[in-house]
């Protein structure tokens, strides 16, 4: 029997604890005291100040399994979800960290040993990438763990140089990829590590924090360089279990099987329904974790990301023929599955259930009518030979039917059309000037009665700085 996802998570943490790393709990997906970030998107986020030296901890090595979200800003994988086998909105990042303690040599050895000895991956299938100028890393992969030089690929700044921000700690990265076979590739002659297709799967990224960059761009070597690594649990689990899609791993199959039974749609029956099953599984995980960490649906900031994800899931439910609220049930399966690793989430399941069902009911009332309106408008646009949906209709869907713009854009794109975004903005502007008073959408910023009072109990966040109202991704 192959290892389960839960076992792999535990084995990773145990391995690094054995190497004198302090086991640290995942921080919330809502970053503490970091207004520059909508969601925690990597394991290092909770250690930022430790890396810069502003904060001291009683340990200089740590290991975590961090809850991560990549749905905004620099890392936005939302549109990839369900379409690629390796991207999720929510995922767990396994990591080991050195705060001025060990550096490249040990990091390389730990990672290689974990993958080949602990996980039993075939070294013959592994490739590594290093930053173009990082001769030291290339040499270490060869001398310390015996990677053949032809398996070491050099990649540029875009792929393999990491920086905390415009200034501050930065340095080269090195990634471990697994060759999943030529049949998974794009078939292009130059398909190699770093290609966007599914042949070479990036498993693990090792960041070598080695310099401090100042405002002029000058890089000074750090006196005590650090290590920050991240490996997606879903990817390593699928790989170890012999699959090329994360969704075939046991972290996802119970969730997808549940939805499949609920909808009476078999897995593997048809590509479109499979996409829906995958998206729903991803989004159910995301919604459970977001609400579990205190995010409530709203028309702004984090709450709007939750609302957008939930509404996308609701629409995929309709595609599978599910009528009425269902996502809370799927989220229930998620929380059962995650119970061992996240007991706190399991304990708050009654609350999570209430929040999700209430948002599902809220949107359910207008979803079907909105979908009907949209399909009529699409048919009309097509009949007229137009390649865009007019902005007025997109705005009406947004304003009256609660369709985030990105949801409308996704549905429209599936039909091969675009949305007239300028027209949408214009309609929004007209609406705003019509209602002189502060614009309040369709009143959706107010929580339904069942949830009123939760905000005052400390749930929900009011971050407004980085996400537009509409569901467009506006952050840099
Ligand atoms: P990719 O190139 O596949 O998008 P990345 O280079 O953006 O990945 P990193 O920022 O290096 O990812 O994050 C470290 C690790 O986290 C990756 O090597 C991968 O295993 C995992 N990971 C990154 N993004 C996702 C995601 N959206 N879903 C699942 N796992 C992810
Ligand atoms: Mg990425
Ligand atoms: Mg990458
Ligand atoms: Mg990477």
Strands (E), 237-395: 388-389
Residue 230 in contact with ligand 1 by CB distance below 6 A: yes
Q: What is the pLDDT of residue 161?
A: 96
The distance in angstroms from the start CA to the end CA of the chain is 44
Residues 25-63 as b or e (16 or more Cβ within 10 Å = b): ebbbbbbeeeeebbbbbbbbbbbbebbeeeeeeeebbbb
Q: Which of 67, 235, 238, 245 to mutate to test the pocket of ligand 1 (most atoms within 8 A of CB)?
A: 235
Residue 439 reports pLDDT greater than 90: no
298 CA to centre of ligand 2 in angstroms:
27
- Give nearest CA residue, ligand 1 atom 3: 202
Residue 205 in contact with ligand 1 by CB distance below 6 A: yes
Lowest mean pLDDT among 188-192, 231-235, 285-289, 454-458: 454-458
Q: Quick one: pLDDT band at residue 74, thresholds 50, 70, 90?
A: confident
Q: What is the pLDDT of residue 79?
A: 85
Instruction: Compute how many other C-beta atoms are within 10 angstroms of the C-beta atom of residue 379.
Output: 11
Q: What is the pLDDT of residue 435?
A: 74
**Gyration radius (Cα) of the chain, Å:** 23
The 10s digit of each residue's pLDDT in 263-317 is 999 999 999 999 999 999 999 999 999 999 999 999 999 999 999 999 999 999 9
Q: Are 72 and 476 in contact (CB under 8 A)?
A: no
Share of the chain above pLDDT 70, in %: 91
Average pLDDT over residues 119-148: 97
Q: Are 229 and 208 in contact (CB under 8 A)?
A: no
Average pLDDT over residues 93-101: 98
Residue 409 reports pLDDT greater than 80: yes
Q: What is the pLDDT of residue 166?
A: 87
Lowest mean pLDDT among 65-69, 75-79, 260-264: 75-79
Q: Are 237 and 246 in contact (CB under 8 A)?
A: yes
In this predicted complex, what is the ipTM? Answer: 0.99
DSSP 81: B
- Give nearest CA residue, ligand 1 atom 12: 205
Q: What is the pLDDT of residue 72?
A: 78
Average pLDDT over residues 1-16: 96
Residue 171 reports pLDDT greater than 60: yes
Residue 90 in contact with ligand 1 by CB distance below 6 A: no
DSSP string, 195-232: -SSSSEEEEEEEEEEEEEE-TT--EEEEEEEEEEEEEE
Residue 223 reports pLDDT greater than 70: yes
Q: What is the pLDDT of residue 450?
A: 52
Q: What is the pLDDT of residue 469?
A: 52
DSSP 84: B
Q: What is the pLDDT of residue 451?
A: 57
Q: Are 61 and 101 in contact (CB under 8 A)?
A: yes
Tell me the two tokens of residue 362.
Answer: 């809220």
Q: What is the pLDDT of residue 443?
A: 44
Task: From 269, 277, 134, 262, select the one nearest 207 (Cα to Cα).
Answer: 134
Q: Indicate the average pLDDT of the chain.
A: 91
Residue 359 reports pLDDT greater than 90: yes
Q: Quick one: pLDDT band at residue 462, thresholds 50, 70, 90?
A: very low
Q: What gap in Å lies between CA 17 and CA 58, rounded to an integer?
A: 15
Q: What is the pLDDT of residue 438?
A: 52
Q: What gap in Å lies between CA 257 and CA 236, rounded to an integer?
A: 21
Residue 77 in contact with ligand 1 by CB distance below 6 A: yes
């Amino acid at each position: 029997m192959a290892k389960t996802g839960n076992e792999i998570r535990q084995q990773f943490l145990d391995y690094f604890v054995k190497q004198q790393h302090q086991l640290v709990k995942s921080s919330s997906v809502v970053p503490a005291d970091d207004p520059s970030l909508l969601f925690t998107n990597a394991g290092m986020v909770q250690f930022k100040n430790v890396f810069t030296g502003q904060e001291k901890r009683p340990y200089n090595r740590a290991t975590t399994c961090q809850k991560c979200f990549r749905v905004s800003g620099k890392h936005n994988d939302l549109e990839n979800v369900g379409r690629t086998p390796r991207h999720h909105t929510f995922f767990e990042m396994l990591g080991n960290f050195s705060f001025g303690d060990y550096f490249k040599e040990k990091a390389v050895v730990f990672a290689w040993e974990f993958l080949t000895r602990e996980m039993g991956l075939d070294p013959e299938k592994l490739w590594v990438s290093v930053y173009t100028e990082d001769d030291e890393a290339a040499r270490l992969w060869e001398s310390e763990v015996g990677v053949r030089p032809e398996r070491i690929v050099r990649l540029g700044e875009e792929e393999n140089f990491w920086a905390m921000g415009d200034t501050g700690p930065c340095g080269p990265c090195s990634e471990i990829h697994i060759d999943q076979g030529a049949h998974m590739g794009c078939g292009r002659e130059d398909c190699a590590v770093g290609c966007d297709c599914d042949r070479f799967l990036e498993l693990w990224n090792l960041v070598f924090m080695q310099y401090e960059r100042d405002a002029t761009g000058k890089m000074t070597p750090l006196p005590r360089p650090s290590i920050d690594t991240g490996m997606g649990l879903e990817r390593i689990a699928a790989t170890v279990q012999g699959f090329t899609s994360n969704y075939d791993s046991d972290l996802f199959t119970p969730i997808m099987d549940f939805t499949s039974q609920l909808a009476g749609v078999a897995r593997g029956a048809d590509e479109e329904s499979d996409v829906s099953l995958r998206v729903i599984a991803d989004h159910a995980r995301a919604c459970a974790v977001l609400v579990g960490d205190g995010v409530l649906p709203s028309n702004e900031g984090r709450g709007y990301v939750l609302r957008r994800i939930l509404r996308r899931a609701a629409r995929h439910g309709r595609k599978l023929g599910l009528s009425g609220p269902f996502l809370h049930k799927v989220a229930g399966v998620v929380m059962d599955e995650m119970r061992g690793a996240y007991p706190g989430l399991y304990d708050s399941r009654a609350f999570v259930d209430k929040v999700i069902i209430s948002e599902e009911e809220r949107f359910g009332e207008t979803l079907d009518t909105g979908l009907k309106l949209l399909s009529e408008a699409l048919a009309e646009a097509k009949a007229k030979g137009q390649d865009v949906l007019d902005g007025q209709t997109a705005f009406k869907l947004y304003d009256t039917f609660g369709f985030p713009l990105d949801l409308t854009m996704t549905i429209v794109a599936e039909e091969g059309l675009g949305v007239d975004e300028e027209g949408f903005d214009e309609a929004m502007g007209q609406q705003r000037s019509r209602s002189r008073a502060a614009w309040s959408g369709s009143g959706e910023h107010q929580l339904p009665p069942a949830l009123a009072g939760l905000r005052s109990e400390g749930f929900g966040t009011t971050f407004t700085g980085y996400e537009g109202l509409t569901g467009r991704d506006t952050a840099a």
